[in-house]
């Protein structure tokens, strides 16, 4: 089984419901969710003039390879109504593959580990919550170290920790 850390994000519509639907579709189409972080409210990154996001990281055990997972997660985004208009713009759902086992993958449209992990507090807070000692395969530093050294100063606030995983 492949272990995949995935970041979920949403800043449009019923954000809690969007996360719930994304988790349900991931569980039915990609693999078994074995862990889920708390839900965090975060300021928008990249394009800051938009509503705040809800973010969560899940760990999935999956039989699928990385490229297949990307295809499946993009299909889930489409199912949930995501329309790609503007890079880093507002969205109903965003599903990012962060880590895939300890693999380093650089092919068109798929870069693992996700290239912005170390730059985004909204990714590192929930990631460090469920995988504090996981070592980034490129930087050779764990998630807590990356979080402690992250220069992103945008606010990230834990708002829920009652997930059933």
Token duo for residue 29: 């189409």
Catalytic entry in 14, 15, 49, 96: 96
- Give catalytic status of residue 49 as yes or no: no
Is residue 74 within 8 Å of residue 43, measured between CB atoms? no
In the residue annotation, 82 being an active-site residue is answered as yes
**Considering 15, 23, 49, 82, which one is annotated as catalytic?**
82
Catalytic position from the list 15, 23, 91, 121: 91
Interatomic CA distance for residues 4 and 33, integer angstroms: 9
Catalytic residue among 15, 23, 94, 120: 94
Q: How far is CA 93 from CA 2, 104, 126, 145, 164, in A?
A: 23, 25, 17, 28, 21
Residues marked active site are found at 82, 91, 94, 96
């Amino acid at each position: 089984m492949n272990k995949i850390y995935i970041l979920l994000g949403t800043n449009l519509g019923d954000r809690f419901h969007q996360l719930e639907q994304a988790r349900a579709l991931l569980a039915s189409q990609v693999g078994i969710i074995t862990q889920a972080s708390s839900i965090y409210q975060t300021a928008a990154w990249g394009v800051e003039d938009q509503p705040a996001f809800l973010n969560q990281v899940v760990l999935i055990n999956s039989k699928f390879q990385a490229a297949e997972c990307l295809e499946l997660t993009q299909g889930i985004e489409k199912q949930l109504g995501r329309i790609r208009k503007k890079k880093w713009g507002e969205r109903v759902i965003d599903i990012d593959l962060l880590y895939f086992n300890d693999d380093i993958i650089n092919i068109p449209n798929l870069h693992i580990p996700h290239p912005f992990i170390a730059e985004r507090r909204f990714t590192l807070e929930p990631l460090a919550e469920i995988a504090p000692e996981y070592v980034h395969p490129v930087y050779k530093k764990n998630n807590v170290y990356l979080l402690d050294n992250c220069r992103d100063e945008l606010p990230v606030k834990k708002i829920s920790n009652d997930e059933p995983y």
